[in-house]
Amino acid sequence: MKVFTSKYIFREDSMLRNFSSGFYRSIMMTIAVVLLAGGVTAWAGSLQDLRASGALGESVSGYAVARDPSATAEVASINEKRKAVYAEKAAAQGVSIEQVGKVYAKEIFENVPAGTWLQNEQGQWLKK
């Protein structure tokens, strides 16, 4: 079936195809946004879960430490994000990344829930 307009002749099925591809594109974009937002939440949730299970501990360097081999990949991801934040702060303040990490470690130690494993400067693990 053809639809007539003043200047153009459109086939109805091509209009539907264009509408549906735009519709599906918007649905896919919505799904992508939800999944990405959920990923941030999932990361934060898994950090808490790993702390609670004892698979992850916090060190005086400001970085997480995998206390269980199953947490190694997640800890690497967490530390990569922390290092990016520390590097930005260090550059802005003209100090080393290590110094920034130690400052953040104090804050992390204060704010983590009871039961979280903390590694002191001697390398010993203590439960908060």
Instruction: Tell me the domain boundaries of the chain.
Output: 2-127
Residue 122, pLDDT > 90, answer yes
Number of residues assigned to the chain: 128
pLDDT band of residue 46 (cuts 50, 70, 90) is: confident
Full-model pTM: 0.64
117, 119, 83, 42: CA torsion to nearest 10 = -10
CA distance 106 to 62: 8
> Do 57 and 118 touch, CB atoms closer than 8 A?
yes
The per-residue pLDDT of the chain, averaged, comes to 77
